[in-house]
Amino acid sequence: MATMTPAGDYRSTYREDMTIFPTRGSRIALWVGLALLCLAPLVLDRYLLHLLINIGFLGIAALGLNILVGFTGQISIGHAAFFGFGAFASAWAHEALHIPVALAIPLAGLATALIGLVFGAPAARLKGLYLAIATLAAQFILEDFFARARWFTGGVAGRVTEPFSLFGFAFDTDETYFYVVLAFVVVMFAGAANLMRTRDGRALVAVRDHYLSAEMMGINLAYYRTLSFGIASFYAGIGGALYAHYLLFVSVEAFNILFSIQFLGMVIIGGLGTIKGSLMGAAFMVLLPEVVQSLADMLAGGAVDRALKLGASISYLREMAIGAAIILFLIFEPDGLAHRWQQIKAYWKLYPYSH
Amino acid sequence: MTMTTKRRVLGLAATAAVAAAFALPAAAQPIPVGHLMDNSGATSDVGVPYGQGVADALTWVNQARNGINGRRLNVLGFDYGYQAPRAVSQYQAWVNRERVVAIQGWGTADTEALVRFVTRDRIPYISGSYSAALTDAAGKSGRQGVEAAPFNFFYGPSYSDALRAMLQWAKQDWERRGQQGRPRYVHMGANHPYPNSPKEAGEALARELGFEVLPAIQFALTPGDYTAQCLTLKNQGANYAYLGNTAGSNISVLRACHTAGVQVQFLGNVWGMDENAMKAAGAAANGVVFPVRTAVVWGQDAPGMQTVRQISRISDPQGQAYRPVHYLAGVCSAMLMVEAMETAAQNGGQITGPRIRDGFYARQNWVPRGFEGVCAPVTFTAEDHRGTMRVALYRAVVTGDTSQGSVAELMSNGTMRIEPVTTIELERRRDWLGW
Amino acid sequence: MELGFLLQLLLNGLIVGALYGVVAMSFVLIYKASQVVNFAQGEFLLVGAWVCWWLLTAWQLPFWLGFLVTLAFMTLFGILLQVVVLRPLIGEPVISVIMVTIGLSIFFQALMKWMFGVFAQPFPPVFAVERVRVLGLEVQSVYLFSLAISVAIMLGFWWFFTYSKHGLAMRATAFDQQVAASLGVSVPRVFAMSWAISAVVSAVAGVVVGVVNGVSSALSFYGIKVFPAVILGGLDSIVGAVLGGLIVGVLENLAQWLDAEWLNWGNMYQVAPFYAMILILLIKPYGLFGTETIERV
């Protein structure tokens, strides 16, 4: 394994082509990064930890959506509903079946995957726009179900959940829960990176790139489209369950259409069809409102504040910023943050001879 | 959980001790207070004036009274858009990071979700939700699903009690008008904890009083086209209909029913009708009966109005703004918390959650100092957080076109009026506690 | 009473459905001409209605003048959106274009709330409100007015696409862009024109709803109700869109009737169209009247 990426394509075996870490440097960078993250709770304050935890579980769910949208080319405008299903399933499994939280989270992921398969099977027949509209309908129908199914969700009043605990130790502070989320992030992202190297992963990409050619090469379209829904829902379910045991409260209100759209925004802003892009997109979507808020705080009390009534309308500004960010990214950076990151790396690698 | 609670309490105590040891002039330490608002969500129509009232009153306490016993309030505002999960998330931030000692809250869904948390963390929580489930302070009602809520307070009659009073009025009204047969009552509102809160209590009392109770009608918390619901209402032949939502969506119903020619006496809840809503609904709002929590409305005079006008100038230096009923309620509920804090701080006491809670029990028929004739008297006890059983009912009267002119003009020239109807003193029944 | 109730609900369904039909029509217009699925269709209603309301109340313009200024504004608005936001995206994948329109929808919803508040605002009385009896039912004149406007718009569309030069150019572009371009049709101009017309027509619907129910954020929900309508009617058929709109309007009110008479579940009014839509897509993946695309490699 080389320490630097060579200037040409010298890969001569499939094994080399499929490696996750092209250079030793990238592998070292990952381990160092992980080690630094493990130290984070000792250094960072709770506010930053809170943001990192949010980025973690949203990133897991966004990765699921990216597998569906970015790798398989299917559209879903109902991802938040699956995220919510995972959250409710985990809370319910713990409360009604007395399954420990540490076990309820993966179980919730599996249950959500099942639901995803149920919705995915008919969706495999639909394409593009019709699929988008069908998932939109699924979003509204699932929301209505959550509000009705009191035995499962606690109805419109929601459900209080218990913190994650392992061997009698409760992970109920930002500092401790951070490690739980970090562990899940590592496992889920490593899983996705490896999935994409397998036959199944490549089949998904083939379905996206040209489904007719893929079918001619012997790939079962219906199977892989349904499978992709299942995987996406599994990731959404895990993300949702982590959310439920972090917030300690789940309610149907959170899983609305705007949240679904935010997931799509994460995937597009991060970069369709990239694994690390999902995390970048989640980070962007979590940090954007915070930046808007602090901008408004900076202007607070000034003339601009009085003229625009910033204090009272910060929520609208936040929503407008989300809408505008999605539009601007698609116009000016359609390949997402992951692509921009590659370009920045390439620029510095060749500096000062970039042209 | 007990372990961590103990650890947290120990931590708090340690911090407090350290703070007391180092900061000898306690004046330097501001008191962190959370203020949860809905400025952008489904109930922002009434959340904005209420939140403004709370914010102005707390700022005024800092400016005019130099805070609590010389310590200024550090008010941390947050607009949660009426989404309970965001409120819970913000609550955890306030408790863990800012160490607030009390919170001015808002909606029913979030307040009820937080009951267990504020009880655990011992943080007095003064909500904009008047859900009766929050009044069972000691958990003695034995009702299913009602937890002890020793740290939850609100200013005014509970939703259930307000509805009970309106039903008693409706019964009198029916007899006074010499109508034959049983009056028909219907509950209307969204499928949401807030409109649902008084549903069963209201229907039970309606049956007790001899009403025929019709199947409830649902409409969302957001404005919309509710013609179909009004046609249903008309078909049912209801005589009295309770509007469980806030003003914004109630207006849509009132207008649609006005257009569809529905003849029914609407009963609004405390958040269901106000001056802004009267202007927006126009003639459709005429005749709606609703409870008002303060003894006066803006433009009327009382000894305490002098203070309220000063408070209003905090966010309106010209003194031009018309303040709807919710603004006054916000001021009163903020001042209750302030006086409870002052009680806690007396004789050099620490301002902590449990001491503030005890401050709420210190007085009977309690009217905050300087707000006489504005805030209605309230009494809290360690077992019963029903502050008042007196419900003042008013009627919205609209006599002309409301589309031109400001609320202040329309109110002063009499195009819109809020007329007192009656005041109902409910019996403090034990079986109504927490319900 | 029972039958009267059902009839009234059906009539209400037809009136609302006609408005859905109008909005669905303008949605299909954009889709046919520029292959863009517009998730921001509801915001056209919202922006149009608020602008008109603002002109009428803040500037005290008479209704006809305020209405005309609104239409002029919406023409510009539609063209600007197409040129500034959507033109750079020609050739991008479907999902990107969908996301941009969703972004527009979020942006304008928040902007309108910021500028005009969250209260439903009434229009100044446009005409003396009085009731009319139709087939033994009492109907408000505003409803008849709204029905009349819907029918007028539909007739206008029919004339435009059958007889006018621009309408024919649009049909040609929808049929085959390259051939149309080679015959001298300016494709970019057709794109811009389709957005302008769609915005104007939606704004008319928005103002009509505003006059009847008051202007509020609820208007943007019409943009979502459009989807069941176009799935029922087929994405590429203007006549189908009108039919689909009518069906959805009636379906909603039938659901309310069932709910009120027997089920007492609540909320059926809101979700019933989506159940219907899923059912149809399960049976016919291209909608009821949509054309199945046959792909050749």
Minimal C-alpha gap between B201 and chain C (Å): 19
Select from C88, C99, C108 the Cβ nearest to the Cβ of A268: C99
Angstrom distances, CA of residue B246 to CA of A314, B43, B127, C116: 22, 6, 16, 18
- Total count of domains within chain A: 1
Pick the CATH number of B2-158+303-360 from 3.40.640.10, 3.40.50.2300, 3.40.50.300, 3.50.50.60: 3.40.50.2300
Please report residues of B whose CB lies closer than 8 A to that of C9: 228, 231
CA nearest C141 in B: which residue?
A: B259
Q: Is C264 on the interface with B (CB under 8 A)?
A: yes
Cβ-contact A250, A257 below 8 angstroms: no
- The pLDDT of residue B3 is 41
Asked if the Cβ–Cβ distance from C216 to B224 is below 8 Å, we say: yes
State how far the Cα of A87 lies from the Cα of A77, in Å rounded to an integer. Answer: 18
Cβ-contact B204, B142 below 8 angstroms: no
Select from A75, A138, A316 the Cβ nearest to the Cβ of C110: A316
Asked if the Cβ–Cβ distance from A129 to C286 is below 8 Å, we say: no
Q: B159-297+390-432, which class in CATH? A: alpha beta
Mean pLDDT of A114-136: 84
Burial class (CB in 10 A: 0-12, 13-18, 19+), C167: middle
Cβ-contact A281, A270 below 8 angstroms: yes
Q: Is A48 on the interface with B (CB under 8 A)?
A: no
First to last CA, chain A: 28
State how far the Cα of C189 lies from the Cα of A272, in Å rounded to an integer. Answer: 31
Burial class (CB in 10 A: 0-12, 13-18, 19+), A18: middle
Please report residues of C whose CB lies closer than 8 A to that of A281: none
Angstrom distances, CA of residue A225 to CA of A69, A136, A191, A211, A212: 11, 18, 19, 10, 13
CA nearest B252 in C: which residue?
A: C213
Minimal C-alpha gap between B207 and chain C (Å): 19
Asked if the Cβ–Cβ distance from B259 to C138 is below 8 Å, we say: no
Minimal C-alpha gap between A172 and chain B (Å): 9
Q: Is A130 on the interface with C (CB under 8 A)?
A: yes
User: What string of DSSP letters covers B214-226?
Assistant: PPPEE--SS----
Asked if the Cβ–Cβ distance from A334 to C109 is below 8 Å, we say: no
pLDDT in tens, A185-223: 999 999 999 998 888 888 998 888 888 888 888 888 889
CA nearest C281 in A: which residue?
A: A134
Q: Is B403 on the interface with C (CB under 8 A)?
A: yes
Q: Is B248 on the interface with C (CB under 8 A)?
A: yes
- Say if residue A1's pLDDT is above 50: no
If contacts are CB pairs under 8 Å, which of residues 244-263 in chain B contact chain A? Answer: none
CATH number of the CATH domain containing A75: 1.10.3470
Please report residues of C whose CB lies closer than 8 A to that of A129: 37, 94, 98, 235
- Check residues A43 and B392 and name the one with the higher pLDDT: B392
Asked if the Cβ–Cβ distance from B97 to A46 is below 8 Å, we say: yes
- Say if residue A12's pLDDT is above 80: no
pLDDT band at A39; cut points 50, 70, 90: confident
Select from C129, C252, C256 the Cβ nearest to the Cβ of B232: C256
- The pLDDT of residue B151 is 95
> Between chain A and chain B, how many beta carbons pairs sit less than 8 Å apart?
70
Query: Can you tell me which residue has the tokens 């139709």?
Result: C134
Minimal C-alpha gap between A157 and chain B (Å): 6
State how far the Cα of A343 lies from the Cα of A23, in Å rounded to an integer. Answer: 17
Please report residues of B whose CB lies closer than 8 A to that of A286: none
Chain centroid to CA B254: how far?
Answer: 22
Q: Which residues contact A124 (CB under 8 A, 6 or more apart)?
A: A221, A222, A225, A226, A229
Angstrom distances, CA of residue B38 to CA of A47, B47, B142, C43: 22, 5, 32, 23
Asked if the Cβ–Cβ distance from B85 to A174 is below 8 Å, we say: no
Select from C8, C119, C124 the Cβ nearest to the Cβ of B231: C8
If contacts are CB pairs under 8 Å, which of residues 301-340 in chain B contact chain C? Answer: none
User: pTM score, two decimals?
Assistant: 0.87
A10 domain residue, yes or no? no
Cβ-contact B264, B242 below 8 angstroms: no
Please report residues of A whose CB lies closer than 8 A to that of B109: 156-158, 251, 253
Three-class SS string for chain A?
CCCCCCCCCCCCCHHHHHCCCCCHHHHHHHHHHHHHHHHHHHHCCHHHHHHHHHHHHHHHHHHHHHHHHHHCCCCCCCHHHHHHHHHHHHHHHHHHHCCCHHHHHHHHHHHHHHHHHHHHHHHCCCCHHHHHHHHHHHHHHHHHHHHHCHHHHCHHHCEECCCEEECCEEECCHHHHHHHHHHHHHHHHHHHHHHCCCHHHHHHHHHHHCHHHHHHCCCCHHHHHHHHHHHHHHHHHHHHHHHHHHHCEECHHHCCHHHHHHHHHHHHHHCCCCHHHHHHHHHHHHHHHHHHHHHHHHHCCCHHHHHHCCHHHHHHHHHHHHHHHHHHHHHHCCCHHHHHHHHHHHHHHHCCCCC
For each of chain B's 435 residues, which pLDDT tens digit applies? Answer: 344 444 444 444 444 444 444 444 445 689 999 999 998 888 888 998 999 999 999 999 999 999 998 899 999 988 888 888 889 889 988 998 889 999 999 999 899 889 988 998 999 999 999 999 999 998 888 787 788 999 999 999 999 999 999 999 999 999 998 888 899 999 999 988 999 999 999 999 999 999 999 999 988 888 888 888 888 898 888 999 999 999 888 988 998 888 888 889 999 999 999 998 898 888 889 999 999 999 999 988 899 999 999 999 998 888 888 999 999 999 999 999 999 999 999 888 889 999 999 999 999 999 999 999 999 999 999 999 999 999 999 999 999 888 778 888 899 888 999 999 999 999 999 889 988
Asked if the Cβ–Cβ distance from A174 to B96 is below 8 Å, we say: yes
> Between chain A and chain C, how many beta carbons pairs sit less than 8 Å apart?
119
Q: Determine the Cα angle at C226 with ends C225 and C230, to 5°.
A: 130
Asked if the Cβ–Cβ distance from B225 to C1 is below 8 Å, we say: no
For residue B293, report the phi and psi dihedrals to the nearest 5 degrees.
Answer: -90, -20
CATH 3.40.50.2300 range(s) for chain B read: 2-158+303-360, 159-297+390-432
Please report residues of B whose CB lies closer than 8 A to that of A314: 39, 79
Both structure tokens of A355: 């042209």
Range of the domain at A192: 36-350
Asked if the Cβ–Cβ distance from A248 to B192 is below 8 Å, we say: no
Which residue in B16, B4, B282, B280 sits closest to B121, CA to CA? Answer: B4
Q: Is A144 on the interface with C (CB under 8 A)?
A: yes
- The pLDDT of residue A3 is 56
Cβ-contact A107, A93 below 8 angstroms: yes
The DSSP bridge pattern shows strands B152-153 and A159-160 to be unpaired
For each of chain C's 297 residues, which pLDDT tens digit applies? Answer: 567 788 888 888 888 898 899 999 899 888 888 888 899 999 999 999 999 999 998 888 888 899 999 999 999 999 999 999 988 888 787 778 888 999 999 999 989 988 888 777 888 777 665 566 666 566 667 777 778 888 888 888 888 888 888 888 888 888 888 888 888 888 888 889 999 999 999 999 999 888 877 888 888 888 888 888 888 887 777 888 888 899 999 998 888 888 877 777 777 778 888 888 888 888 887 777 766 666 665
Which residue in B110, B114, B159, B118 sits closest to B135, CA to CA? Answer: B159
Cβ-contact B219, B188 below 8 angstroms: yes
- The pLDDT of residue A216 is 86
Minimal C-alpha gap between C163 and chain A (Å): 31
Q: Which residues contact A113 (CB under 8 A, 6 or more apart)?
A: A230, A231, A233, A234, A237
- Residue to test with chain B: of C112, C216, C224, most B Cβ within 10 A: C216
DSSP 3-state of C264: coil
- Residue to test with chain B: of A46, A57, A251, A314, most B Cβ within 10 A: A251
Give the neighbours of chain A: at least 3 Cβ pairs within 8 Å.
B, C
Please report residues of B whose CB lies closer than 8 A to that of C209: 225
If contacts are CB pairs under 8 Å, which of residues 110-169 in chain B contact chain A? Answer: 112-113, 116-117
Minimal C-alpha gap between B297 and chain C (Å): 21
Select from C12, C129, C267 the Cβ nearest to the Cβ of B231: C12
Asked if the Cβ–Cβ distance from C260 to B232 is below 8 Å, we say: yes
If contacts are CB pairs under 8 Å, which of residues 183-242 in chain B contact chain A? Answer: 191-193, 196
Q: Determine the Cα angle at C285 with ends C282 and C288, to 5°.
A: 95
Chain centroid to CA C141: how far?
Answer: 22
State how far the Cα of B312 lies from the Cα of A172, in Å rounded to an integer. Answer: 42
Q: Is A301 on the interface with C (CB under 8 A)?
A: no
Q: Which residues pair with B32 in a beta bridge?
A: B74
Q: Is C59 on the interface with B (CB under 8 A)?
A: no
Burial class (CB in 10 A: 0-12, 13-18, 19+), C181: middle
Select from B215, B231, B401 the Cβ nearest to the Cβ of C5: B231
Count the residues in chain C.
297
State how far the Cα of A341 lies from the Cα of A282, in Å rounded to an integer. Answer: 15
Select from B85, B97, B117 the Cβ nearest to the Cβ of A251: B85
Query: Can you tell me which residue has the tokens 């009636």?
Result: C250
Q: Is B196 on the interface with C (CB under 8 A)?
A: no
